[in-house]
Amino acid sequence: MQQLEKAVAVARAYQATHPDTLLVVTGDHETGGLSVEENDASDETGTGISTEDGPFSIHGSDRTFTLDWTTSGHTGVDVPVTAAGPLANRFTGKHANTHVHDVLSQILAPRH
């Protein structure tokens, strides 16, 4: 996650100085069945792929949370799509995965 944040920071800095660039950040699928949970000593942490990670602190708070991974495979959970630049407003709401292709095709189409 930290490496992704660093890569996105570089891309955002570039896009800020090149406003004609569409920056899209997304995943091709969700993996792991990630859930964010309150810390609960009575909650079974599991083993192997269902082992929980944490607790993690919340900046500026005395609360903590735990990440629970429920699978090692792909899930059907929606993934977020964020965007900046031209056509970024086309990525609001919930869309089929083919919508990303449709928008990128528009921005990549040859201009005459």
pLDDT at residue number 50: 62
Do 69 and 51 share a structural domain? yes
Would you put residue 32 in left (φ > 0), alpha (ψ -120 to 50) or beta? left
Do 34 and 21 share a structural domain? no
Domain of 3? 1-28+79-112
Dihedral through CA 104, CA 105, CA 108, CA 110, nearest 10? -160
Write the pLDDT tens digit of every residue in 12-64. Answer: 999 999 999 999 999 888 887 778 888 776 766 666 656 777 889 989 999 88
Mean pLDDT of the chain: 85
Do 101 and 73 share a structural domain? no
Total domains present in the chain: 2
Do 87 and 69 share a structural domain? no
Do 72 and 42 share a structural domain? yes
Do 72 and 84 share a structural domain? no
